[in-house]
Amino acid sequence: MTGIPARRACDTVNDIPQPKLVLLVDDDDDIREVTQTSLELVDGFRIITASNGREAVRQAREHHPDGILLDMMMPGVDGLATLEMLNADPATAGIKVILLTARVDGVQQTPTVAGLIPKPFDPMSLGVEVSRMMGWSR
Amino acid sequence: MVEVNPGDAVTDAYAALTERAWVSNRSRADELSSLVGQWRATGAIPADGRQHARDIAHSLRGSAGTFGHHRAAEAAESLEQLLVDGHPVHLDAVADLIATIGLGLSEPPEPQRFTGDANSAERAG
């Protein structure tokens, strides 16, 4: 074992680029599904989803996605609290996060925050913006 | 062999989800109307009811905007701001915004168009 994180080992297989794994977190079922559909079918990402902050942290620990799209306003554990939990855990602290938000006040820029995407957004062009913010080549 | 165009699949899925979101947002607008009716009847706006209405307006704003009902989304945004704690609330203004949300939802959504190409899914990395 070389200690290389599993997700990096999965970035290429036989030098063939593999789709990025993205964790999509939003409590609105309709927005979550249309965003998942667009990112999978239009942009070719692999998507896992969570409808709340606690589930998001659990999914991030289990699957170690390449990036996370995180809705800021959710009932219970909101986006900011979720971000703090992700940053506090060494297993998830390095994962880049894009915040989906209608409000930018109170948002603290941290090294893992790759950008902010204002809501509402156009789900059909979201993938291009995600790739740009994450620094992923297309 | 039948070739599947990802654009068609996305467009079909989007149409179905747009319909479902419209039902959700119509229900949210009805709930807001009901809350305002209660506030008028009692002559008071309880703090938790105000926050609940604000949360509904926030959800409506995001969903309506995402699914092309921009007029409804803008009215929901105005309503969300109107319901911020500490601001005086005029029920007529709230009712007017809810009516605008209803009108906006009755209009056809602005279509989102698939603009990617069929091979983009193979390139994402």
ipTM of the complex: 0.73
Is A48 in contact with A63 (CB distance < 8 Å)? yes
Q: How many CB pairs under 8 A join A and B?
A: 100
Q: Is A81 on the interface with B (CB under 8 A)?
A: no
Q: Match 């990395």 to its residue by tokens.
A: B125
> Which regions of chain A does DSSP assign to beta strands (E)?
12-13, 16-17, 21-25, 46-50, 67-71, 96-101, 113-118
Quote the Cα angle for A45-A47-A50, to 5°: 155
Global confidence as pTM? 0.79
Q: Do residue A34 and residue B66 have CB atoms under 8 angstroms apart?
A: yes
Mean pLDDT for all residues in chain B: 84
For chain B, the residues whose C-beta falls within 8 A of a C-beta of chain A are 6-7, 9-10, 13-14, 17-18, 20-21, 24, 55, 58-59, 61-67, 73, 77, 112-116, 120-125
Across the interface, of B20, B21, B124, the residue whose CB is closest to A43 is B124
Q: Do residue B66 and residue A43 have CB atoms under 8 angstroms apart?
A: no
Residues of A in contact with B28 (CB under 8 A): none
Two structure tokens written together for B69 = 């009902």
Q: Which amino acid is at A17?
A: P
pLDDT per residue of chain A (138 residues) written in tens, 0 to 9: 333 333 333 366 677 778 999 999 999 999 999 899 989 988 899 999 999 999 999 999 999 999 999 998 888 888 989 999 999 999 999 999 999 987 656 566 677 899 999 888 887 788 999 999 999 976
* Nearest residue to A51 (alpha-carbon basis) of A35, A34, A75: A75
